[in-house]
Amino acid sequence: MTHRAGLSFQFTHAIARTPANSVANGIRAVDSGDPSGDKFREEHGLYIKALQEAGLSVNVLPALEAFPDSCFVEDPAFCLPNAAIQLRPGTESRLGEGAEIRAALDSVFETVAVLPGEGHVDGGDVLTLDDTILIGLSARTDREGADAFAKLLGDWGYQAEVCETPRGVLHFKTACSTLGDGVILATRVMAESGFFNGRPIVVVPEGEDYAANVIRVNDVVLVPEGYPKTLAAIENAGFKTVVLPTHEARKVDGGLSCLSLRFALG
């Protein structure tokens, strides 16, 4: 697709969802203890405030106790400036989340498509850059879903590429993020993957792989608390940062990008 300056980080609006108490039953690869609903909501409130201070109008949806992972709104939907796509998450317990977020999408976008076919795509496997959209195959995103998603994006005038997420990485964006202005933040394994076609890469220092999941929102990069080497690397690359706690989200494999759908209107 044609280079669209700021597509990956210039936003006016966001959709988020309050963490439910049932988040204690959320999916996780490693059991490091159950997140506390109260503590998670406290951290979530700081996250919402940071988005607002970065210039976004945020629609915070009510908690869904029936869906423990539903605060991770990035997985069941994908938003562009002109349209949205209701996705089909790759975990059975999350399949109903797309229908639950549909009303919020319909209230904003004239065009809301449903992922064609029967395949699965988690939004956490989708990395939007200013000139292409990368879709990572993973345990949550299969080839049928990724190909259908890429075709739909192509029909809308966007270039999409399907990539093999490295073994051991939950979601594509678990291990990489866009810092904007063509710069990628990535773990060592992702930096050496060849996915980024010679773009400048800030490599996450050893031992801080979780911090690869950040979000650039207009003029700032939101960075998880507790990763000083990664924070310094981002700042040394010339980016302004805001540090946020994600201790409860991490217990259920969540990160900063998972907690909101960000898009530009107008």
| 219/9 Cα distance (integer angstroms) | 8
Distance CA 165, CA 159 (A): 19
What is the number of other CB atoms lying within 10 angstroms of the CB of residue 219?
A: 12
- Active-site residue 44, yes or no? no
CA distance 187 to 261: 23
Global pTM value: 0.96
Strand 126-128 relative to strand 133-137, pairing: antiparallel
Supply the DSSP string of 43-95, one letter for each residue.
Answer: HHHHHHHHHHHTT-EEEEEPP-TT-TTTT-TTTTEEE-SS-EEE---SSGGGT
Both tokens of 129, joined, read 């850059």
Does residue 7 fall inside a structural domain?
A: no
CA dihedral sign of residues 200, 204, 210, 216: negative
Is 5 part of a structural domain of the chain? no
Query: Is residue 173 assigned to a domain?
Result: yes
CB neighbours of residue 159 within 10 Å: 14
CA distance 175 to 209: 7
Residue 156 lies in a domain: yes
CA neighbor of 256 nearest in space, from 169, 188, 166, 171: 171
Is 1 domain-assigned?
no
Q: Domain range for residue 100? A: 13-263
The answer to whether the Cα torsion of 90, 91, 94, 96 is positive or negative is: positive
CATH of the domain at 33: 3.75.10.10
In a domain, 92, yes or no: yes
Report the b/e string of 8-21 with b at 16+ CB within 10 A. Answer: bbbbebbbbbbbbe
Closest CA to 236 of 200, 190, 188, 202: 202
Exposure pattern of 131-151 as b/e (b: 16+ CB <10 Å)?
bbbbbbbbebbbeebbbbbbe
Number of domains in the chain: 1
- Contacts by 148-153, CB closer than 8 A, 24 or more apart: 148/115, 148/116, 148/117, 148/119, 148/121, 149/78, 149/85, 149/87, 149/115, 149/121, 151/116, 152/85, 152/113, 152/115, 152/116
Helix, strand or coil for residue 256?
Answer: coil
Question: What's the number of CA atoms in the CB half-sphere (13 Å) around residue 96?
Answer: 7
Q: Which of 44, 163, 171, 176 is catalytic?
A: 171
- pLDDT per position as a tens digit, 203-228: 999 999 999 999 999 999 999 999 99
171 catalytic residue (yes or no): yes
Examine residue 175 and state whether it is found in any structural domain, yes or no.
Answer: yes
With respect to residue 8, please indicate whether it lies within any of the assigned structural domains.
no
Residue-wise pLDDT tens for the chain (266 aa)? Answer: 567 989 999 999 999 999 999 999 988 877 889 999 999 999 999 999 999 999 999 999 999 999 999 999 999 999 999 899 999 999 999 999 999 999 999 999 999 999 999 999 999 999 999 999 999 999 999 999 999 999 999 999 999 999 999 888 889 999 999 999 899 999 999 999 999 988 999 999 999 999 999 999 999 999 999 999 999 999 999 999 999 999 999 999 999 999 999 999 97
